[in-house]
Amino acid sequence: MHFFFPYDIAIDPEGSRQHRLKARLITSLSPPSSAMNESARFAFNLFYITVHVFAFLNTLVYWGAEVPAGHGGFRPPSFPKHHPSGPGSNATIAYNPNKGLFEEDDIKPFSIINLTIINSAIAGIEIFFLNSIRRPTPVAGQVAGVIFASFLYLVWAWFGGLVTGHYGIFFLNPDEMGGQMEAVIAACIVFVSLTPGLFAYVYGLIAMREQMTASPRRS
């Protein structure tokens, strides 16, 4: 919301409750002003860049690892091998078109497409058209923060798998990796190592938008 309100929002103590609530909400969703300290700006930039990196990371891991390994819930529709041809027969009984591409109820393909495609599309549109944020600095600190966030995600997902028996990412489950913890650790290292590359990708998108929207220099 900071592209609508790029300046400080004054909260009028005499204003209505709705006005005060709106002002506080806009302030909380807006980046720190120039008067804020560097740590606050760093924290906001890190939050922003991490959200976008994870959106693209989710897409990359799902379509690049989970689907090829057969753990993405993605499979082509299974058409009936034999269609009933007798009088009074109905082919729709043998084949349910509502199963669609995923052979599941509608909510599952919707969730998969939303999480693995739509989120990345929204992130790209937001960077190019709905934002005025600049490239995050310092780069080294931002990269370290994104890597740490990906590590925390793996720890949380692994803990959730231990508690519920369901692992959000298949390679965290030793049973899916042939019972070899070395394979699990190697997969986690690859997962974490993807984040610097995706940070560079998001950083490049922001730089591209800055370049395209910059005022022309006078010679």
Predicted local distance difference test score (pLDDT) of residue 156: 94
Question: How far apart, in whole angstroms, are the C-alpha atoms of residue 95 and residue 165?
Answer: 33
* Lookup: tokens for 74: 């993605």
For residues 91 and 83, the answer to whether their CB atoms sit within 8 Å is: yes
For residues 95 and 134, the answer to whether their CB atoms sit within 8 Å is: no
Predicted local distance difference test score (pLDDT) of residue 217: 66
Please name the amino acid found at residue 108.
K
For residue 24, being part of any structural domain is answered with: no
Predicted local distance difference test score (pLDDT) of residue 186: 93
For residue 17, being part of any structural domain is answered with: no
Q: What is the dihedral of CA 50, 55, 58, 61, to 10 degrees?
A: -80
For residue 2, being part of any structural domain is answered with: no
**What is the count of structural domains for the chain?**
1
For residue 112, being part of any structural domain is answered with: yes
Predicted local distance difference test score (pLDDT) of residue 159: 92
For residues 58 and 195, the answer to whether their CB atoms sit within 8 Å is: no
Q: Which of 183, 199, 188 is nearest to 151 (CA)?
A: 188
CA atoms within 13 A on the CB side of 86: 1
For residue 152, being part of any structural domain is answered with: yes
Predicted local distance difference test score (pLDDT) of residue 121: 94
For residues 147 and 195, the answer to whether their CB atoms sit within 8 Å is: yes
Q: Which residue has the tokens 């005025």?
A: 132
Predicted local distance difference test score (pLDDT) of residue 133: 81
CA-CA-CA-CA torsion sign (170, 172, 178, 184): positive
For residue 105, being part of any structural domain is answered with: yes
Residue range of the domain that includes 166: 38-75+91-213
For residue 115, being part of any structural domain is answered with: yes
For residue 150, being part of any structural domain is answered with: yes
Q: Which of 21, 2, 3 is nearest to 11 (CA)?
A: 21
Question: How far apart, in whole angstroms, are the C-alpha atoms of residue 166 and residue 106?
Answer: 22
Predicted local distance difference test score (pLDDT) of residue 188: 93
pLDDT tens digits in sequence order for the chain, 219 residues long: 344 444 555 556 666 677 778 777 777 666 655 545 778 788 888 999 999 999 999 999 999 988 888 777 665 445 544 444 454 544 444 444 444 445 556 677 788 888 889 999 999 999 888 877 888 889 999 999 999 999 999 999 999 988 988 888 889 888 888 888 999 999 999 999 999 999 999 999 999 988 888 777 665
If you compute the radius of gyration of the chain from its CA atoms, what whole number of angstroms results?
A: 24
